[in-house]
Amino acid sequence: MTLTSSQLTLVKAEIDANTDLNSLPDNTDGDIEIARLLSLDDTPSYWVWKTNVPTADLLDSIVGESLITLPTDKGTGLNTLVVSHAGNGFNPSIAGNRDIFLDPSGQDGLFTGGTNSNPTTRTQVEALFKRLALRVERVLATNTTTGTEGSPDNLDFEGKISSTDVRTARNLP
């Protein structure tokens, strides 16, 4: 994926601000090494919401007891979600999608509130919905949260950066 001009500016700022990056040669070998370093897990850890969770993984994280105690209306809702997302998975980076399972008020999520509350299922689903970011992903994240495990950020870019994008960023004025 080619980066936008504003994303390239952020990458350039990251390179310029860090000696592990700006001390590398201003050539193809340097670009390749910068791309490699930016594509490693970020340190310190920076947490983000996943943009896709396979439906099978989601179902595997649900404790059976949660399904047994699920009220009929919520069971029907879960069934509808599973059928409609069977081939695509869920995108927990969208707050509304997360809230279906992890309602922040603790009342309306499928596995929160009332007799169907199951802390184990909720904890497992929440853990499944987030991951550690790569360094470049943190640089290009929305930065609307702290990026902690308790408050993951959303991604504006996902994956590794290419040495071509690094070269383009380094060439910016």
Q: 65-122: per-residue pLDDT in tens?
A: 777 777 777 778 778 877 887 788 899 999 888 888 877 665 567 766 555 556 777 7
Question: Kindly report the CA angle at 159 between 156 and 165, in degrees rounded to 5?
Answer: 85
Q: In this structure, what are the phi and psi dihedrals at residue 50, rounded to the nearest 5 degrees?
A: -65, 155
8 A C-beta contact, residue 49 and residue 142 = no
Q: So where are the chain's domains?
A: 5-48+132-170, 55-128
d(C-alpha 165, C-alpha 39), whole Å: 12
Predicted TM-score (pTM) of this structure: 0.84
Comparing 4-18, 36-50, 61-75, 144-158, the range with the smallest average pLDDT is 61-75
pLDDT tens digit sequence for 15-42: 999 999 999 999 999 999 999 999 999 9
| Contacts of 150 by beta carbon, 8 Å cutoff, 6+ apart | none
